[in-house]
């Protein structure tokens, strides 16, 4: 199947949405935890988080400020300046997925889907107790993407919580062991199975590919 | 393990790099194909591509303009205005990984690792023949991220090539069937196994999570 720009544009809306949401490849499954100034918590699933830098430790995320559900996340981040990112695992993918239902602002998705708020002293935003890899982020910057009205949000890592035995001595995280998952498109969940680790690629140590 | 901002900062450089490169979760494995004005091709593995929007169809990617290897990709994109994104599959992860070795600009990574250039009529940048999901992108915009000197590159989809049987009638792509892979950190590769597909989440259809 070869689709040109015009073919893509001519596709039925939902089909286009599904195809285009899949073509960049597997996406990480994270829950973003926030709180407003009155103490009302919010939890939302995001597949758009990405690594932005390790020194300082920065995580990026794309969001649509006008999205009827994700809007609360953005409002809370602006209000308090902090948010959390929590890995989704196999054990609670359905709960994580349903945080995307349209809860009212007065209802917390934590209670709505049965996940547990966890707090770190001195940090306002709620973590997800069920998640094994989670971090508290400080909102640093938003970058408007004028082409389509989305924004990129940049956060720096204030707190990082990981099980001791999930990280090896060089700092590699084993996502299979953690029951990590990925998302394709809007609603397909994939299990991760570690298959290979290669050394830093040196030209002088190139395998024979002929 | 609970690391604060100061603990992360105090970590040994390589360990910090590995940990922080892992914490956003699984990342997609893609090869970016480019060509310069003289016809010299380049191929580079990227784990930083992300979905940016479906109407118009936009894909984002983070790169470091000063990176000794990835620099050629950016130079070529600026020179010709086009590039390709090609999914990496299980069958060629080692070849894909070694595109990150330091090849000279006069050497093509395609030949260096044994992957095959493919062209679409009227589109200048090389696709990867071995890849089953691949696209030709038009460079639209670069967004500098001043906090750490990286840039976000935005491309719009000009061509999309997918096997007919890998997409269902609603436009969902089956990444397991395609042998798709994800990356954690800098060099760990994961196989993807489809485990669940949930409907669009409606509040009125919430499962019983109690």
- In chain A, what residues touch B157 (CB-CB under 8 Å)? 5, 8, 20, 23
Q: What would the pLDDT profile of A81-126 be if each residue is shown by its tens digit?
A: 999 999 999 999 999 999 999 998 888 999 999 999 999 999 999 9
A134-138, B46-50, B61-65, B188-192: least confidently modelled range: B61-65
Which of A1, A3, A23 should one mutate to test binding to chain B, selecting the residue with the greatest count of B CBs within 10 A? A23
Interface contacts A/B by beta carbons within 8 Å:
382
Per-residue pLDDT at B130: 98
Which tens digit of pLDDT belongs to each residue from A122-178? Answer: 999 999 999 999 999 999 999 999 999 999 999 999 999 999 999 998 999 999 999
Q: Which of residues 39-78 of B touch A (CB under 8 A)?
A: 47-60, 62
For an interface test with A, give the residue of B2, B8, B10, B23 to mutate (most A CBs within 10 A): B23
A16 contacts in B (CB within 8 Å)? 54-55, 57, 171
Query: Domains in chain A and their CATH numbers?
Result: 25-192 (2.30.110.10)
Residues of A in contact with B170 (CB under 8 A): 14-15, 18
3-state secondary structure chain B: CEEEHHHHHHCCHHHHHHHHHHCCCCEECEEEEEECCCCCEEEEEECCEEEEEECCEEEEEEECCCCCCCHHHHHHHHHHCEEEEEECEHHHHHHHHHHHCCCCCCCCHHHHHCCCEECCCCCCCCEECCCCCEEEEEEEEEEEECCCCEEEEEEEEEEEECCHHHECCCCCECCCCCCEEEEECCCEEEEEEEEEECCCCCHHHCCCCC
**Is the confidence at residue B188, as pLDDT, over 80?**
yes
Give the closest of B18, B50, B190 to A171, CB-based: B18
Q: Do B60 and A62 touch (CB under 8 A)?
A: yes
Tell whether A118 lies on the interface with B, counting CB pairs under 8 A.
no
User: Residue B69: pLDDT band by 50, 70, 90 thresholds?
Assistant: low
pTM of the model: 0.95
Does A23 sit within 8 Å of B160, measured CB to CB? yes
Q: Quick one: pLDDT band at residue B70, thresholds 50, 70, 90? A: confident
**pLDDT exceeds 80 at position A6:** yes
Q: Does A124 touch chain B (CB under 8 A)?
A: no
What value of ipTM does the predicted structure carry? 0.95
């Amino acid at each position: 199947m070869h689709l040109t720009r015009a073919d893509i544009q001519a596709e039925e809306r939902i089909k286009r949405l599904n195809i285009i949401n899949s073509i960049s490849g597997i996406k990480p499954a994270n829950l973003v935890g926030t709180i407003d100034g009155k103490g009302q918590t919010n939890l939302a699933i995001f597949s758009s988080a990405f690594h932005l830098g390790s020194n300082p430790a920065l995580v990026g995320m794309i969001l649509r400020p006008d999205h009827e559900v994700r809007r609360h996340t953005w409002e809370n981040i602006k209000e308090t300046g902090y948010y959390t990112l929590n890995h989704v695992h196999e054990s609670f993918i359905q709960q994580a997925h349903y945080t995307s239902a349209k809860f009212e602002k007065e209802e917390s998705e934590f209670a709505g889907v049965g996940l547990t708020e966890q707090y770190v002293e001195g940090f306002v935003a709620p973590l997800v107790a069920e998640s094994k890899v989670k971090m508290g982020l400080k909102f640093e910057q938003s970058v408007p993407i004028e082409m389509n009205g989305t924004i990129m949000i940049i956060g720096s890592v204030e707190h990082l919580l990981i099980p001791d035995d999930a990280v090896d001595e060089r700092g590699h995280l084993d996502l299979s062991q953690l029951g990590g998952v990925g998302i394709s498109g809007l609603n397909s969940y994939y299990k991760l199975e570690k298959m290979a680790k290669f050394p830093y690629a040196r030209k002088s140590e190139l395998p024979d590919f002929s």
